[in-house]
Amino acid sequence: MDQSSAGAGGNSLTSVGPDAQKRRVCYFYDPEVGNYYYGQGHPMKPHRVRMTHSLLAHYGLLDQMQVFRPHPARDRDLCRFHADDYIAFLRTVTPETQHEQIRSLKRFNVGEDCPVFDGLYTYCQTYAGASVGGAVKLNHGHDIAINWSGGLHHAKKCEASGFCYVNDIVLAILELLKYQERVLYVDIDIHHGDGVEEAFYTTNRVMTVSFHKFGDYFPGTGDIRDIGYSEGKYYCLNVPLDDGIDDESYLFIFKPIMSKVMEMFRPGAVVLQCGADSLSGDRLGCFNLSIKGHAECVKFMRSFNVPLLLLGGGGYTIRNVARCWCYETGVALGQEIEDKMPVSEYYEYFGPDYTIHVAPSNMENKNTHQQLQDIKCKIVDNLSKLQHAPSVQFQERAPETKLPEPDEDQEDPDERHDPDSDMELDYHKPLEASARRSLTEGNRVKREFSEMETKDQHGSRVTTEHRGPEHMAEDIAPSKQTPPADANAMAMYAPGSVKAEPESSTKLPDPSAMHQKP
């Protein structure tokens, strides 16, 4: 199937103003993702990704992107970052057998926040495969790639954390580093992006920037004094914020910091984690951002014309998550979508207003102008200690992730997806163990059991001393420019026609029975 036949060929429509350049946008979605179910009362609901996809279809945005069904990541793909025994555990554990593996459950932090559920490993393969697939597309000419099922930034090399099992972000960054000398990671989830920061804490090839709630809040990390270690010193930036921050205050600190980061670091690609739990009214959050304010961060990073990977993340008031990620897909395409929603199968979720935008609350903003100014000055001061755009010695590039060639003999291109013929990726040693700061048991708890409960602050604050060495992946050596592989080698689906495969016995069969409406 010719890629140009997919809607507008992935080229976004022009927008008004200085940022009117077209972008070649691709979007990854698996129609099964909404079927995975963390369990009754658990705030993480993959169903929100299906709601987002429905809005995109009814707004006509799928027609303006190339739509791909991701190839599931295999064991060796996941083990580029994660430990072999951890991945083996995720692959084999089931709800029926977990009681026989109590020691492993504790060892890998799987249980309350990160439960064992039907299809867990397939779920991890799906969202990780989508993020790595997006990175491959950026390495081969796309301007923007989107995976709203990804962005699970808390997962560690050897353990699950904060609803996250596999760190798709780290895997995507490792893929980008095969072609890019430097990759920037930006996190606007309300929770600190600890798993990604930890993975790249000692390298100057990845800069991590996290804007998050800090102080008596999960995961307890992300102090402004945590700045990286060894070669990675000053390549880790943490922006600690307090309750109630609004659009004006957030953008007051976000834009100048990110402008300075782009000037000093000059990344070849940007990964933006768009966790929607920083929105006003989130079930687990305590910020007061509007959807437009949140999306302004996406628009701002898009304006630098650097390859951009947009990922999901947190977000627990699912009607607002779907609103946000739909609107931000429009931003990626250079489109301002109508506020009034089109009728869709999930239309009743968005009442009584049935609009994309929701007014923020009148909650107190505890971030004073002086506090934000002090944080901004400290961050900019740290950036001033960097050399402009660190140079790297060119070495042999890590083996490329190759996607399977489509079968030209098959009559229906929409049926080319073969779960057994996904990414070909040479095995690499996983990351070495990280010397993480010890967290109290309270800091490990992110879950809220009932919407009727008062919002928990997710753990106690930990001592914010500078960290010791934390080792990153061994296989992020600088890349040598070589002819790119076939960028069309991933199974592709025409916009709006991503076909669901037959229900698997590992997933709950009735989505409507799984997810309670808000």
Which residues are identified as catalytic? 154
Nearest CA to 67 among 503, 323, 414, 303?
Answer: 414
Torsional sign, CA 254, 257, 260, 266: negative
Cis preceding-peptide flag for 390 (omega within 30 of 0): no
d(CA 406, CA 87): 28
Q: Which of helix, strand or coil describes residue 70?
A: coil
Give the residues across from 213 on adjacent strands.
Answer: 241
| Contact of 34 with 345, CB cutoff 8 Å | no
Rounded CA Rg of the chain: 21
d(CA 324, CA 318): 10
Q: Which residue has the tokens 């960054």?
A: 173
Residue 6, CA distances (Å) to 25, 165, 239, 404 in order: 11, 33, 40, 19
| Contact of 325 with 286, CB cutoff 8 Å | no
Geometric angle at alpha carbon 500, from 494 and 502, rounded to 5°: 150
Q: Which residue has the tokens 């997710």?
A: 458
